[in-house]
Amino acid sequence: MSPEAVTRLPVTSDVQISGARHAVREAAIAAGFSLVEQTKLVTAASELARNTLVHGGGGHMEITTLGRDQRGIRLTFTDSGPGIPDVAAALSDGYTTGQGLGLGLGGARRLVNEFAIDTGPGRGTTVTVASWPRGARRVTL
Amino acid sequence: MDRIPILRLGRVLLASIQQELTDDIALALQQDLTEMAAAGADGVIIDISGVDVVDSFLARVLSEIAAAARMLAGETVVAGMRPSVAITLVEMGLSLRGLRTARSLSDALSALGLGEARIQGRS
C-alpha cells in the first residue's frame, strides 16, 4: 500500500471551519468524488468542525486519503473539550445545545459511509468518518 | 469582516451570496436583513446559487431570517439552491420547513410580484 497522505488543520475559529470545508472539497475532488458525493462529505465536515469549535472549544481536523488507489477519504476531528456524556442522545435528531437545528452529529453520520465517535466526560471527543466515491474499493476505517 | 451587500428592488430586499460564507458573515447577514426589513420592505430574496454547502447552521440562519421577516416584512424566498445542496439537505434530514424556495432569482422575483419585465422596464 502506498503511504497515506495526511493533512492536519487547526479548527479554532469560524474562518477555519470554512478553511476545513475548502480542504475537504479539494481532497474529495482529487479522490474522484462526484459533485453530490463532494457536497455530502464537505457538509458533514462542516457540521463536525463546528462541533469541534463550539462544543470542544477548538481542536484539529486530519484529512487522510485511503487505500491503494487513494480514493477514499478519512476525516478525524479531535478536541480536548468536556466530552459528550450521552452519545446516543447526541446522535439523535433534535438533540441540541443551542446551535444549529440539533441535527449536527446525526446529520453528519447520515452523509458519510462510516462513522465512529470516541468520547466521554472529561476526555475530549474524536469523531472519525470515511467516505468513498461510488464504485471505489473500500478499506476499513 | 466582509458583509453580504443587500439591494433594494422597490419594496423587496435582495441578498445574493457570492462569497465563502463564514458563520460570522451569515450572522451579520441575518442582522442586516432583519434591520432593513424592519425599516420597511414587503419581501426578502436570498440568492444562494453561489453557495456550495448549506449545513445545519446556515439552514438555521436562513430559517430565522424568514421567521423574522415574516413578522416584519412578508415572505422570504430562497432562490437558486444547487441540486447537490438539495440532495444533501434531504439526506441529512433537514427539510427547511417554512422556507419558501424558487429555482432562480427571476422565479423568486415573480413569486413576490416583482416580475423580470418590471425590473427591466425600470432600467
- The per-residue pLDDT for B123 is 41
Q: Is A16 on the interface with B (CB under 8 A)?
A: no
Residue A2, pLDDT above cutoff 70: no
Predicted ipTM of the assembly: 0.89
Residue pair A93/A103 in contact by the 8 Å Cβ criterion: yes
Q: Is A97 on the interface with B (CB under 8 A)?
A: no
Residue B37 has φ and ψ, to the nearest 5°, of: -65, -40
Q: What is the 3-state secondary structure (H, E, C) of chain B?
A: CCCCCEEEECCEEEEECCCCCCHHHHHHHHHHHHHHHHHCCCEEEEECCCCCCCCHHHHHHHHHHHHHHHHHCCEEEEECCCHHHHHHHHHHCCCCCCCEEECCHHHHHHHCCCCHHHHHHHC
Residue-range domain boundaries for chain B: 6-122
Q: Which residue has the higher pLDDT, A100 or B73?
A: B73
- How confident is residue A86, by pLDDT bands cut at 50, 70 and 90? confident
The arrangement of secondary structure in B6-122, i.e. its CATH architecture, is 2-Layer Sandwich (3.30)
Please write the tens of the pLDDT for every residue from B29-40. 999 999 999 998
- How confident is residue B122, by pLDDT bands cut at 50, 70 and 90? very low
Average pLDDT over every residue of B93-105: 87
Whether residues B53 and A43 touch (CB distance < 8 A) is answered with yes
Whether residues A39 and B23 touch (CB distance < 8 A) is answered with no
Residue A141, pLDDT above cutoff 70: no
What is the per-residue burial (b if ≥16 Cβ within 10 Å, else e) of B47-85? bbbebbbbbbbbbbbbbebbebbeebbebbbbbbbbebb
For chain A, list the domains and their CATH numbers. 6-131 (3.30.565.10)
Contacts of B55 in chain A (CB under 8 A): 43, 46-47, 50, 100
Residue B108 has φ and ψ, to the nearest 5°, of: -65, -40
Residue A107, pLDDT above cutoff 80: yes
Mutation site, B92, B94, B99, interface A, largest A CB count within 10 A: B92
Residue A87, pLDDT above cutoff 70: yes
Please write the tens of the pLDDT for every residue from B57-92. 999 999 999 999 999 988 999 999 999 999 999 999
Mean pLDDT of chain A: 88
Mutation site, A48, A55, A101, A111, interface B, largest B CB count within 10 A: A101
Q: Which residue has the higher pLDDT, A40 or A85?
A: A40
